[in-house]
Amino acid sequence: MSLTDFIRDIPDFPKPGIMFKDITPLLANPAAFQDSVRQLAGHYAATPIDAIAAAEARGFLFAAPLALEMKLPLVPLRKPGKLPHKTVSAKYDLEYGSAELQMHEDGIIKGQRVLLLDDVLATGGTMKAGCSLIEHVGGIVVGCAFLLELSFLKGRERLTGYDVFSLVTY
């Protein structure tokens, strides 16, 4: 079974010129979905990790089952105005627009080792913002994991210095 069989290309979404990688066929196939989560868990099995953090919305779809599989706390990184307690914020640029992420200031405790997860590595802006949030509160980013990576957008270069891993590279 290849994960790429469950990732669909949608041209010109959400804007002309963007090739959108649609992961809904993967979510619709329990065996493939479980396999992707197990592969991620397997990759980090020997890495000491205290928590998993992920950005909404598609990051949550993989971070929640991964957190359960690895028996680790899950910390949500959300769009502005969604988290009820005191937050820290990071602004960033996207392949198609700009955005801001927030985290509860007590989501990560100083010194905790954090694995960040998202579905797609495009320009790396989202992940870079996630790393900033973790580090702002004194956390240590032990890895940046993705289901898939669009290597031509050079997101890895933006994440220089971090351990970057993706299950599939385009």
Q: Report, as residue numbers or ranges, the catalytic residues.
A: 58, 95
Angle between helices 58-70 and 30-43 (to 10 degrees): 60
Q: Which of 19, 28, 68, 109 binds ligand AMP (CB under 6 A)?
A: 19
Nearer to ligand AMP, 134 or 150 (CB): 150
Nearer to ligand AMP, 59 or 76 (CB): 59
Separation between Cα atoms, residue 131 and residue 32, nearest integer Å: 28
- Tell me which DSSP letter residue 29 carries: -
Separation between Cα atoms, residue 37 and residue 41, nearest integer Å: 6
What SS3 string covers 116-169? EEEEEECCCHHHHHHHHHHHHCCCEEEEEEEEEECHHHCHHHHCCCCCEEEEEE
- x-or-dash string of contact with ligand AMP, 136-165, rule CB under 6 A: --------------x----x----------
Q: Which of 122, 131, 134, 142 binds ligand AMP (CB under 6 A)?
A: 122
Contact flag: residue 118 with ligand AMP (CB under 6 A):
yes
Nearer to ligand AMP, 72 or 150 (CB): 150
Minimum distance from residue 83 beta carbon to ligand AMP (Å): 18
